[in-house]
Amino acid sequence: MTHQTSHHIPDALMAAYVSGTLPRPFALVVASHVSMCDDCRANLHAHEAAGGAVLESIGEERLSGDLRSKVMGALDDAFDMAPEPAPAKRSGVFPGPVMEALKGQPPKWKRLGGGVRQCILDMGAEGSARLLHIPAGNPVPEHSHGGLELTLVLQGGFSDTTGHFDVGDVEVADGDLEHVPVADMEVDCICLAATDAPLRFSSLMPRILQPFFAI
């Protein structure tokens, strides 16, 4: 199923995804969004075509020794690291790349407090990717960001100071944004979020609990 979205993947992130340089947690968000968004799927193909044209343009250059095979091998490895836009069958609200990360199983939710739950999909030196389940009408505690955060809406929606985000929309947040995302009233909000640094919570209790929940 595809959705008409208003907030898309920026070109710089799409280019990094296509080149294989985007950290895996963010690549999971991009792949999931692309599987839901016709516009960004077309943009992905455009970036791939542009990359192919560059490779073709240098095809006549002579490469010494086994340099060519090493270059092509590195490109293959880079693309192997990034999730494909639709490598697995969609299940309910979860697109194929998320189902791949879940290994085809339902999410194992853990409570964070205030009714919010999470399921960590990827955690490593490059950052983390997790599913968040926010009850309808509930806020996420006020916070800012120590780095980049991509949040893709899979069910419901949320609003903050930057606007409203519906199914398929991606919010791109950095250290300049301090916000209180609030889930829509109609249905619980489920999001896929990737970060490369811990969040910076404004209130004391979330800061105390933060190390236990790896957020």
Distances (CA, A) of 28 to 17, 58, 87: 10, 30, 11
- Regarding predicted confidence, which is higher, 208 or 136? 136
138 and 172 fall within a common domain:
yes
Report if residue 1 sits inside a domain. no
130 and 53 fall within a common domain:
no
C-alpha 215/C-alpha 213 separation (Å) is 6
Q: What is the pTM of this model?
A: 0.80
For the chain, the domain total comes to 2
Label residue 169 by pLDDT band (50, 70, 90).
Answer: very high
93 and 48 fall within a common domain:
yes
Label residue 145 by pLDDT band (50, 70, 90).
Answer: confident
Report if residue 165 sits inside a domain. yes
24 and 49 fall within a common domain:
yes
Q: What sign does the CA torsion over 183, 188, 191, 195 have?
A: positive
**Checking DSSP bridges between strand 158-160 and strand 163-165, what pairing results, if any?**
antiparallel
> Residue 34's pLDDT is what?
95
Contact predicate 180/163, CB 8 Å: no
> Residue 88's pLDDT is what?
57
Report if residue 26 sits inside a domain. yes
Provide the angle, in degrees to the nearest 10, between the axes of the packed helices 11-19 and 24-36.
Answer: 110
62 and 151 fall within a common domain:
no
**pLDDT single digits (tens) 103-143:** 999 999 999 888 999 999 999 999 999 999 999 999 998 88
| CATH number for 114 | 2.60.120.10
Please give the share of the chain, as a percent, with pLDDT higher than 90.
Answer: 59
49 and 82 fall within a common domain:
yes
DSSP label at residue 203: S
**pLDDT single digits (tens) 60-77:** 555 555 555 554 554 455
69 and 152 fall within a common domain:
no
- Regarding predicted confidence, which is higher, 98 or 58? 98
Instruction: Summarize the confidence of residues 82-108 as an average pLDDT.
Output: 83
Pick from 82, 136, 114: which is nearest to 215 by CA? 114
161 and 76 fall within a common domain:
no
89 and 15 fall within a common domain:
yes
Report if residue 140 sits inside a domain. yes
- Which structural domain, as residue segments, surrounds residue 180? 104-213
> Residue 79's pLDDT is what?
47
Label residue 1 by pLDDT band (50, 70, 90).
Answer: very low
62 and 112 fall within a common domain:
no
Report if residue 126 sits inside a domain. yes
